[in-house]
Amino acid sequence: MPSAWRKKESAINNLLGLEGVDRLFLESLLEEAAGMKRDIVGKSRKKSTALKGRAFVNLFFEPSTRTRTSFELAGKYLGADVVNVQGKGSSVEKGETVYDTALNIQAMQVDGLVVRHPASGVPAQLQAYLDIPVINGGDGFHEHPTQGLLDLFTVWEARQSLRDCHLVIVGDILHSRVARSDLWGFLAMGAHVTLVAPAIWLPTEIRETGLEMTSNLDNVLAAADVVQVLRIQKERRSMRGMPSVEEYRARWGITEERAQRLKQDALILHPGPQNRGVEIDSAVMAQKASKIWDQVENGVAVRMAVLRQLMGGSHE
């Protein structure tokens, strides 16, 4: 299939990040994801032929439970063939470059590639070499666009609108690709975003209308409509100036006591995996306000919508 034809048929060509996306694009994706959830994921027989005859590869160079599994399920629910390739065990271990690995996968006539890589920018570099759509499954500290989309979907589903919604993201913002995708997506939908972190983890280079930053979580909690809690990454614990686990929990942890100070209808999100008892308490995860399991469920429908739009399947 010539790539030009494919690109003409698709609403989007690649999904590398949410920076620069507009509200109409996001709304069309959210609407389509809602249909996928209602008509396919929510049914006992989860089958569609929208991507029958199409194939894509999940190429993951980092561990994943939620993203890889939900892309695989999303593809299968739409009738596509899905193959998983992990860096470990692939010919990258024999010295093959990531680019040659991707070119080889493309040569097998697949219709799309989902890539997760520890280095920021790898999906963008690969799409410059490839004729097939590339979906960023999370790259370094850059973006995790389908996580951003499923977070948007989860809040949109609960509140019906994101306009003037106040999202507070708390955690290691500096090293978080989820925070970046969330902030671009929520700002594009008319929300306000406050980033909260120890000073060493605030990304001071980002300046946007509607975006604020602080290290004082307790000052902003009462005004939050949504709190997105980020994982404290063990691999960052050796950073100079980083708080101890105990200090982090005391100043930035979403404890039961802090959760009680949120608005009655505030929502609590976490992209996973969680460090229970550090950035979030188990009791908070179990509260009605917690939408953590909705996020995971919605990841399938959102990724179905992304795959359908990128791989040009029917709306069936």
User: Which residues form the interface with ligand CP (CB under 6 A)?
Assistant: 64-67, 138, 144, 147, 271-272
Closest approach of Cβ 116 to ligand CP, in Å? 7
The DSSP bridge pattern shows strands 226-229 and 267-269 to be parallel
By beta-carbon proximity to ligand CP, the closer residue of 7 and 66 is: 66
Residues 64, 2: Cα–Cα separation, whole Å? 32
Closest approach of Cβ 92 to ligand CP, in Å? 19
By beta-carbon proximity to ligand CP, the closer residue of 77 and 221 is: 77
Closest approach of Cβ 202 to ligand CP, in Å? 22
Closest approach of Cβ 67 to ligand CP, in Å? 3
Closest approach of Cβ 296 to ligand CP, in Å? 8
By beta-carbon proximity to ligand CP, the closer residue of 106 and 146 is: 146
By beta-carbon proximity to ligand CP, the closer residue of 50 and 115 is: 115
CA atoms within 13 A on the CB side of 116: 25
Closest approach of Cβ 273 to ligand CP, in Å? 6
By beta-carbon proximity to ligand CP, the closer residue of 221 and 305 is: 305
By beta-carbon proximity to ligand CP, the closer residue of 28 and 69 is: 69
Residue-by-residue DSSP string for the chain: --HHHHHHHSS-S-B--STT--HHHHHHHHHHHHHHIIIIITSSS----TTTT-EEEEEESS--SHHHHHHHHHHHHTT-EEEEEESTTSGGGGT--HHHHHHHHHHTT-SEEEEEESSTTHHHHHHHH-SS-EEEEEETTTB-HHHHHHHHHHHHHHHS--TT-EEEEES-GGG-HHHHHHHHHHHHTT-EEEEE--GGG--TT---TTEEEES-HHHHGGG-SEEEEPP--GGGTTSTTPPPHHHHHHHH-B-HHHHHTS-TT-EEE--S---BTTTB-HHHHTSTTB-HHHHHHHHHHHHHHHHHHHHT----
CB 160 within 8 A of CB 30: no
By beta-carbon proximity to ligand CP, the closer residue of 66 and 76 is: 66
Cα 116 to Cα 75, 119, 152, 185, distances in angstroms: 17, 9, 21, 20
Closest approach of Cβ 100 to ligand CP, in Å? 25
By beta-carbon proximity to ligand CP, the closer residue of 65 and 97 is: 65
Closest approach of Cβ 246 to ligand CP, in Å? 25
